[in-house]
Structure formats: C-alpha cells, structure tokens
Amino acid sequence: MTQDDYRRALESATREYEELGAKRNAIDKRLAELGQTIGTLSRLLGYTPTVPLGLTDAVRMIMRGGVPMTPVEVRDRLHAIGFDVAKYANDLAAVHTILKRLNGSGELRFVPRAPGKHQYTLNRPCTPVVLGPDILRYMRENRHEQEAASATDDDPPPPSRPATRPRRAR
C-alpha cells in the first residue's frame, strides 16, 4: 500500500468514527428523553415502578439529555418525572452530592458560571477532527514535512552544533 492509500484509509476511518459518535450522542439524548417521558407518564397513570430507580441513576438519566443544568434544575426535573425525593431530608443537598460525585468520577463536567449558577453537563468523549483539504495541502507543500516523510536511516545526520565554551565561575 502507498502513503496515499494509508491517508485515504485514515480519512475514511476518522469520518466513520465521527459519524458513529454523532449517532451515539443522538441515541443517548433520545434515550434520556424517553426515560423522562416514561417516568412522567407512569406517574400520571399512578403506576409504581417494579424496579425502583436510585437517585444516582435518575440524575444520570436526566443529564444524558446533554443540556448543562444547575443542581436546582436537576432537582426540579426529578420532581417533574415523578422521582420520590421525600425520603431525603434535604433533596437539593442530595442532588449536589450526586452531581459532585459524578463530576469526580468523570461522568459529568463542572461548568463554572456566576456564583450560585454553576452547571454540570455530560462529559462526552472527544471526537477527532478530520483534517480539511486546506490543512492537508499545506502539510503536503511544506518542505520540512516532505523532508521528514522521505527520511531514511541511510540519510546523513544533520550537521552538529559547534562546541560552546564553558562558562566561567563567578
């Protein structure tokens, strides 16, 4: 295979990776929306869940929507989907604790805002960016890049620096 074949394969793999990442984000967002809809409709119909949802899982479900939220907004969303927070002496403190723990584990990311208005958002994995044609053209035309790409072990080493005089002690 030639270098051009490798570049095309890399561009193709990177493009597919980005597309799959976008699809995964869309699926995660839709799952979060459906989970909240199911919770709300179940509450409206008076159904009780057969498998109780813990506070941490409920917060994860809410945060999967991908929208940065304050702890107060998370608590309000828990109320909206019918999550029973009555067992907690201070529901907002419990939400703060869960958000801080999820932030510490890397699942969420802290977004600083004005005092008392900080938010958390889902910590999504980085998506590689495909190099555009203008950057690729620059890289191909760059003389140093061409020299480095064509270097072999047989090439002579670069000229060494002239020896420097040792500094005198003061």
pLDDT tens-digit map of 58-113: 898 888 877 888 999 999 888 877 787 888 899 999 999 999 999 999 889 888 88
Estimate to the nearest angstrom the gap between the alpha carbon of 47 and the chain centroid: 35
- Say yes or no to pLDDT of 51 above 60: no
What is this structure's pTM?
A: 0.52
- Say yes or no to pLDDT of 147 above 70: no
- Say yes or no to pLDDT of 170 above 70: no
- List CB contacts of 110: < 8 A, sequence separation 6 or more: 103, 118, 119, 120
Tokens linked to 143: 């003389």
What is the three-class DSSP state of 39? helix
Q: Tokens 């072999």 — which residue?
A: 152
Tokens linked to 19: 């597309």
Residue 91 CB neighbour total at 10 angstroms = 17
Q: Tokens 């495909």 — which residue?
A: 130
- Say yes or no to pLDDT of 14 above 60: yes
Query: Which amino acid, one-letter code, is at 116?
Result: G
What is the enclosing helix (H) or strand (E) of 104?
helix 91-105
- Say yes or no to pLDDT of 20 above 90: no
Tokens linked to 88: 């907690």
- Name the least confident of 7-16, 54-63, 88-97, 118-127: 118-127
| Mean pLDDT estimate for the chain | 78
Residue 106 CB neighbour total at 10 angstroms = 8
